[in-house]
A and B are shown apart, each in its own frame.
Chain A
Amino acid sequence: MVYHSSFVNEDGVSRACGCPLLPLKSHIKGPAPVSDQDRTDIVDEAITFFRANVFFRNFDIKSPADKLLIYLTFYINVALKRLEGCRTLAEGTKAIINLGLEKVPVPGESGFPFPGLFPLPQSHKEAELFRNYLKQIREETSGRLLSVAYRPNGTPNKWWLAFAKRKFMNIIIP
Chain B
Amino acid sequence: MGAYRADDDYDYLFKVVLIGDSGVGKSNLLSRFTKNEFSLESKSTIGVEFATRSIHVDDKIVKAQIWDTAGQERYRAITSAYYRGAVGALLVYDVTRHVTFENVERWLKELRDHTDANIVIMLVGNKADLRHLRAVATNDAKAFAERENTFFMETSALESLNVDNAFTEVLTQIYRVVSRKTLEIGDDPAALPKGQTINVGSRDDVSAVKKSGCCSA
A: which residues have CB within 8 A of B? 27-28, 90, 93-94, 96-101, 139-140, 142-143, 146, 151-155
Residues of A near B201 (CB, < 8 A) are 153
In the bound complex, do residue A153 and residue B81 qualify as a contact, i.e. CB atoms below 8 Å apart? no
Evaluate whether A97 and B202 lie within 8 angstroms (CB atoms) in the complex, with A139-B80, A143-B84, A146-B84 already known: no
Contact status B78-A100, CB under 8 Å: yes
* B interface with A by C-beta (< 8 Å): 13, 15, 46-50, 65, 69, 75, 77-82, 84, 113-114, 199, 201-202, 204-205
**Nearest A residue to B204, CB-CB:** A153
State whether B48 touches A27 (Cβ < 8 A): no
Given that A90-B50, A153-B204 are known contacts, is A101 also in contact with B84, CB under 8 Å in the complex? no
Distance, CA A101 to CA B78, complexed state (A): 8
A101-B81 in contact (CB<8A)? no
Q: Nearest chain A CB to B71's CB is how many angstroms away?
A: 14
Report whether B81 and A142 are in contact in the complex, using a CB–CB cutoff of 8 Å.
yes
A101 touches B77 (CB 8 A): yes
Nearest B-chain residue to A89, judged by Cβ? B85
- Which residues of B sit under 8 angstroms from A98, Cβ to Cβ? 47-48, 77
Of all chain B residues, the one with the shortest Cβ separation from A101 is: B77
A97 and B47 in contact (CB under 8 A), knowing A28-B79, A146-B84? yes
A151 to B48, CA, bound (A): 22
9 contacts between A and B (CB under 8 A): A93-B48, A94-B48, A94-B50, A96-B78, A97-B48, A97-B69, A98-B47, A100-B77, A139-B78
Given contacts A90-B65, A94-B50, A98-B47, contact A28 B205 (CB under 8 A): no
Q: Which residues of A contact B82 (CB under 8 A)?
A: 93, 97
Residues of A within 8 A of B48 (CB): 93-94, 97-98
- Chain B residue nearest to A91 in the complex (CB): B50
Note all chain A residues with C-beta closer than 8 A to B81: 93, 96-97, 100, 139, 142-143, 146
Given A90-B65, A97-B47, A98-B47, also A143-B199 (CB < 8 A): no
In the bound complex, how far is the Cα of B201 from the Cα of A101, in angstroms?
Answer: 29
Q: How far is the CA of A97 from the CA of B47 in the complex (A)?
A: 7
**Closest A-B pairs by Cβ, 3 of them:** A100-B77, A153-B204, A100-B78
Counting chain A CB atoms within 10 Å of each CB, the highest count among B15, B78, B114, B202 belongs to: B78
Chain A positions within 8 Å of B46 at CB level: 101
Contact B47 A93 (CB under 8 A): no
Contact in complex: A153, B205 (CB < 8 Å): yes
